[in-house]
Amino acid sequence: MEADLIIRDATLPDGRGGCDIVIADGLVQAVGPSIPAAAREEIDAQGRLVSPPFVDCHFHMDATLSLGLPRLNQSGTLLEGIALWGELKPLLTHEAVIGRALAYCDLAVARGIGAIRSHVDVCDDRLLGVEALLEVKERVAPYLELQLVAFPQDGLYRGATARANLLRALDLGVEVVGGIPHFERTMEDGRRSVVDLCEIAAERGLLVDLHCDETDDPHSRHIETLAAETARLGLGGRVTGSHLTSMHSMDNYYVSKLLPLIAEAGVAAIANPLINIVIQGRHDTYPKRRGLTRIAELQAAGVPVAFGHDCVMDPWYSLGSGDMLEVAHMAVHAAQLTSREAMRAAFAAVTSVPAGILGLDGYGLEPGCHADLVLLDAEDPIEAIRLKATRLVVVRRGRIVAETPAAVSRLHLPDRPPSVSARRSAPESSAH
Ligand code: FE2
């Protein structure tokens, strides 16, 4: 049988080198060295890294690319971002939200992202964002999986209609229950919201992903309730705590008790390194806290830890380009994840770990998986993070959906090579 596509001489994220990947009918058919098969199209990876797609497990697609509307965030804080988003919300139109979301999805695909979990604000009684993103989800489905979280941005109990709106959004087909317990008016309201949201998810058989303790306040301990409710309701494996930044500032004894609770309950953690490093610590003078959760300690306790992008050019973050390697790069620096093992785990935190959190079906490069992959201009996951490597080819269901040329600079220097690349083993820079 003639295959549709063969990638020759690929290095896989687990370190296996010299692999051919045979693709037909949108699926990986075979993976291994020197496979004697023919295909309509062949790509020679020349030993470069081929990975399953990046997965962004925490994003806000209803707000993306809205930077400057209606004004910029002057203080850089989470609270001003929420207030600014509140000013923008009544001005949003269905068409504008769809236009910006589709533009972001184009960029995400070019950057090798295959799936995005996006929170969508349900505090607007029109549910404009929900309806727009449900339409976007359908339109991008052939090339990008979009999973939506019903997110009461202004608090589940602070407004009269937020809870009813959240249920309406779930009725419309939003598949994950969101929340923001640290933004409720009192700790008790925050605790009640966690219980309420977990019960809604249990009743409806849904996943849970709460913005949880996104603050520098060490007494913000809603993750404890989230883990306990997960265990009580048997939701293990379906619940995620996003941000968990208060854990950075918590008492060490308390954390030593909290970590096994999270692990045993089966709760996953999502850090958002770019946003956490920019937004947290804003009330500090010096020393300024980094505001990232305890990534290495959570991993050591057996908690799945993934990294999300969270924001790109919106009321909370004016930078970003849909690059999950930039996200991993920031995590490596801000959380000092610099051992070889920790950097490989950082790559997994933007690929296989979030794929598990989203419950993606057929993710991976084994036979039978969807033929979704990215050829990176890097020799391995560590070089990919170091260089935020170019996504040379992005394949979705066996079809090339994006290509980007390698970053090579032409030099005009006397007695020096004609070109240079930052790659360690790039032909242009490896001559001795
Ligand atoms: Fe978020």
CATH number at residue 383: 2.30.40.10
Cis bond before residue 53 (omega within 30° of 0): no
* Residue 271, phi then psi, degrees to nearest 5: -100, 150
Share of the chain above pLDDT 90, in %: 97
Which residues 6+ apart lie within 8 Å of 59 measured at CB? 116, 117, 118, 119, 308, 309, 310, 311, 312
Residues acting as catalytic residues: 214
CATH classification of the domain holding 81: 3.20.20.140
Note the pLDDT of residue 94: 97
What separation in Å is there between the alpha carbon of 85 and the centre of ligand 1?
A: 13
Note the pLDDT of residue 430: 42
For 169-191, what is the mean pLDDT? 98
Written as six digits, the tokens of 241 are 């705590």
* Residue 307, phi then psi, degrees to nearest 5: -115, 135
Domain count of the fold of the chain? 2
In the predicted model, what is the mean pLDDT of the chain?
96
The 10s digit of each residue's pLDDT in 188-223 is 999 999 999 999 999 999 999 999 999 999 999 999
**Residue that the structure tokens 């050019």 belong to:** 313
The CA distances from residue 114 to 252, 359, 403, in Å, are 37, 13, 14
Note the pLDDT of residue 297: 98
> Identity (one letter) of the amino acid at 315?
P
Written as six digits, the tokens of 228 are 């306990």
426 pLDDT tier (thresholds 50, 70, 90)? low
What separation in Å is there between the alpha carbon of 431 and the centre of ligand 1?
A: 46
Asked if the model's pLDDT at residue 114 lies above 50, the reply is yes
Note the pLDDT of residue 428: 44
Distance CA 152, CA 239 (A): 17
Note the pLDDT of residue 424: 80
Distance CA 203, CA 368 (A): 33
What separation in Å is there between the alpha carbon of 403 and the centre of ligand 1?
A: 29
For 130-154, what is the mean pLDDT? 98
Asked if the model's pLDDT at residue 373 lies above 90, the reply is yes
For 133-162, what is the mean pLDDT? 98
What separation in Å is there between the alpha carbon of 119 and the centre of ligand 1?
A: 7
Asked if the model's pLDDT at residue 54 lies above 50, the reply is yes
Answer yes or no: do 396 and 283 share one domain.
Answer: no
Asked if the model's pLDDT at residue 269 lies above 80, the reply is yes
| Domain end point (choices 333, 358, 383) | 358
Answer yes or no: do 375 and 345 share one domain.
Answer: no
Asked if the model's pLDDT at residue 126 lies above 60, the reply is yes
* CB 250, CB 303: distance < 8 Å: no
Answer yes or no: do 231 and 313 share one domain.
Answer: yes
Answer yes or no: do 348 and 387 share one domain.
Answer: no
Written as six digits, the tokens of 335 are 């959380």
DSSP conformation letters of 25-36: TTEEEEEEES--
Q: Which uninterrupted H or E stretch holds 370? A: none
| Domain end point (choices 343, 358, 373) | 358
Which residues 6+ apart lie within 8 Å of 398 measured at CB? 4, 5, 23, 24, 25, 26, 27, 371
431 pLDDT tier (thresholds 50, 70, 90)? very low
Asked if the model's pLDDT at residue 1 lies above 80, the reply is no
Answer yes or no: do 240 and 226 share one domain.
Answer: yes
What separation in Å is there between the alpha carbon of 324 and the centre of ligand 1?
A: 15
Domain that holds residue 224: 54-358
Residue 309 lies in a domain: yes
For 292-308, what is the mean pLDDT? 98
What separation in Å is there between the alpha carbon of 275 and the centre of ligand 1?
A: 9
Asked if the model's pLDDT at residue 186 lies above 90, the reply is yes
* CB 28, CB 22: distance < 8 Å: yes
What separation in Å is there between the alpha carbon of 211 and the centre of ligand 1?
A: 6
3-state helix, strand, coil in the chain (%, to 5): 35, 20, 40
Q: Is 250 helix (H, G, I), strand (E, B) or coil?
A: coil
Asked if the model's pLDDT at residue 354 lies above 90, the reply is yes
For 284-301, what is the mean pLDDT? 96
What separation in Å is there between the alpha carbon of 272 and the centre of ligand 1?
A: 8
Written as six digits, the tokens of 242 are 């996003």
Asked if the model's pLDDT at residue 83 lies above 90, the reply is yes
The environment of the single-atom ion ligand 1, i.e. residues with CB closer than 5 A, is: 310
Residue 369 lies in a domain: yes
Answer yes or no: do 233 and 190 share one domain.
Answer: yes
Distance CA 419, CA 89 (A): 49
What separation in Å is there between the alpha carbon of 100 and the centre of ligand 1?
A: 18
Answer yes or no: do 40 and 106 share one domain.
Answer: no
User: Nearest-CA neighbor of 121 among 91, 96, 155, 144?
Assistant: 155
Answer yes or no: do 221 and 125 share one domain.
Answer: yes
Share of the chain above pLDDT 70, in %: 98
Answer yes or no: do 149 and 32 share one domain.
Answer: no
β partners of residue 5: 23, 41
Q: How many residues does the chain have?
A: 432
427 pLDDT tier (thresholds 50, 70, 90)? very low
Whole-prediction pTM: 0.97
Which residues 6+ apart lie within 8 Å of 254 measured at CB? 221
Answer yes or no: do 46 and 58 share one domain.
Answer: no
For 148-174, what is the mean pLDDT? 97
Answer yes or no: do 45 and 85 share one domain.
Answer: no
* Upper half-sphere CA count for residue 165 (Cβ side, 13 Å): 28
Distance CA 36, CA 40 (A): 14
What separation in Å is there between the alpha carbon of 244 and the centre of ligand 1?
A: 11
What separation in Å is there between the alpha carbon of 60 and the centre of ligand 1?
A: 6
What separation in Å is there between the alpha carbon of 58 and the centre of ligand 1?
A: 6
Among 43-52, 73-82, 137-146, 396-405, where is mean pLDDT lowest?
73-82
